[in-house]
Structure 1
């Protein structure tokens, strides 16, 4: 259920900051039509840090409704407060989501034992599976492979989104976890190599713009056609880097507005609209990648 290309979906908004649900439906349809294997709703790319609980829950609920069972939806429910992460997970558990994505607590800098206690408490709180999310560039704290191995013993902790971009970390983790423990790349730039080295999929920012290409890379890798996977990846490799010239999701939101899928590129403060120079750079890459004509 959790293999392949999962898009780290943006949360579209109108210029007044309200959630743009018509555009959200348009985006969900876009992904279903282009072969995306699953959706991640209100992860960090979905601006989870600035959505209050009621909006967070409603965006997930609508995403599940729009997906209509055609592809699974994973809900971002991570927090640096264990109690908040549990509350969100319990509130969202009844929406029809397939599972949860839960990030390493940020700012607190928990010890490895603290991470184990945090994620086990979240996993114990509902009947749904949990995917761990390690992104030390954002959280500062780094969940080590030995910690992942310990958490993988929990029956409801089923996978890891690894955004370190370090293939050596993947190879270090693989022998420590069960074969059915899902290892997903959280770094688009190294995701193809991650798949070639035995990864099970990707939770992708690039897939917001290039869903078919990201799905095709995964499908080719699963078929052991690594040459084809690398060929497709080369076509869109510029997106992997140019989308992160400014903090995510500043440029993905602008790009989807430029492509006509949303009504604005509005972001909740403290993020603001991208610089014109960044937009021009990304637009050139979008045209050369074929996602913008």
Structure 2
């Protein structure tokens, strides 16, 4: 199984909603085209960035279909099918099993505090539900579950499990996973720490801020691949200056959608309740970031 197409910079797509909560499919497709022209390698669809847990399964299926149509085979697509239960997740995997995508992924089952054996069984059940390459998602800050090196070693016994999205700040664990499993595809997950992930051998990165700062993360990746970490630190600093503004008051998704709308000249909509909308003060901060981006 050749999974080289799964390496690189993947934008975790946001889902645009109108004031009534309807998905703005045309805006989503125009955004996909814009990002491909900026040079991203792929898309991570229906992730937490896409507000997937605020969407119905049918909506998630339609979002994936819209992205596939807009992408038209140009970039790689990983579809996040995670949900709180095995059958709910498998339903989403079955939907995309015969669609032209390159991989599927899932957060761990959350909320109930499942045991290690239940966690491993969950991932094996999902990975065996199709022949698509499967990417495990380690995001303990929100899932409450840590994918340890020992758990990852156990999961890798399944031939369909080929990757790990590492959204964690335990870089010792990342180094241990990388050193023990050189063939595993590992994505850096925290955008503000991308330089750390690349320095430890991540094959790519999946991030929400790449919706608006894709050229910067691509530049960072290229500098790290050239071992120019002096220049890479400067780029990471610039990335983090934008991140500081984008996550202001916990409104990352709302602010990013506003920035997409302004940068691309489209209506990229708003966030779904119970998320709160962007304020006038936050718009001013976003406007300054937009001006800075367009000047560079």
Distance 1:101 1:258, change over 3 A: same
The alignment partner of 1:56 has SS state of: helix
Residue 223 of structure 1 is aligned with which of 213, 226, 250?
A: 226
Residue 39 of structure 1 is aligned with which of 40, 43, 46?
A: 43
- Alignment deviations for residues 236-285 of structure 1 (CA, whole Å, 9 cap, x no partner): 22123332231542322222123245414321222120333333334434
Alignment of 1:208 with 2:211, yes or no, is: yes
- Alignment deviations for residues 105-155 of structure 1 (CA, whole Å, 9 cap, x no partner): 221222222211100000011010111111111111222121011112211
Alignment of 1:139 with 2:147, yes or no, is: no
Residue 235 of structure 2 is aligned with which of 209, 232, 236?
A: 232
Separation (CA, whole Å) in 1 of partners of 2:7 and 2:241: 24
Distance 1:42 1:74, change over 3 A: same
Separation (CA, whole Å) in 1 of partners of 2:109 and 2:121: 12
Structure 2 residue ranges without an equivalent (≥5): none
Structure 1 residue ranges without an equivalent (≥5): none
Q: Tell whether the 8 Å contact from 1:112 to 1:144 is kept in structure 2 after alignment.
A: no
Distance 1:110 1:277, change over 3 A: farther
Alignment of 1:187 with 2:190, yes or no, is: yes
Residue 80 of structure 2 is aligned with which of 76, 92, 95?
A: 76
Deviation at 1:291, TM superposition (A): 4.7
Residue 25 of structure 2 is aligned with which of 18, 21, 25?
A: 21
Q: How many residues align?
A: 291
Separation (CA, whole Å) in 2 of partners of 1:210 and 1:236: 8
Segments ≥4 residues shifted beyond 6 Å: none
Superposition RMSD in Å: 1.9
Q: Tell whether the 8 Å contact from 2:10 to 2:44 is kept in structure 1 after alignment.
A: yes
Equivalent residue, structure 2, for 1:48 = 52
Deviation at 1:180, TM superposition (A): 1.5
Distance 1:158 1:241, change over 3 A: farther
Deviation at 1:53, TM superposition (A): 1.3
Separation (CA, whole Å) in 1 of partners of 2:172 and 2:281: 35
Residue 112 of structure 2 is aligned with which of 99, 108, 115?
A: 108
- Alignment deviations for residues 158-180 of structure 1 (CA, whole Å, 9 cap, x no partner): 11111112322211222332x12
Equivalent residue, structure 1, for 2:67 = 63
The alignment partner of 1:214 has SS state of: helix
Equivalent residue, structure 1, for 2:153 = 149
Separation (CA, whole Å) in 2 of partners of 1:292 and 1:113: 52
Separation (CA, whole Å) in 1 of partners of 2:236 and 2:16: 26
Q: Tell whether the 8 Å contact from 1:23 to 1:261 is kept in structure 2 after alignment.
A: no
TM-score by length of 1: 0.92
Deviation at 1:203, TM superposition (A): 0.4
Q: Tell whether the 8 Å contact from 1:60 to 1:95 is kept in structure 2 after alignment.
A: no
The alignment partner of 2:97 has SS state of: helix
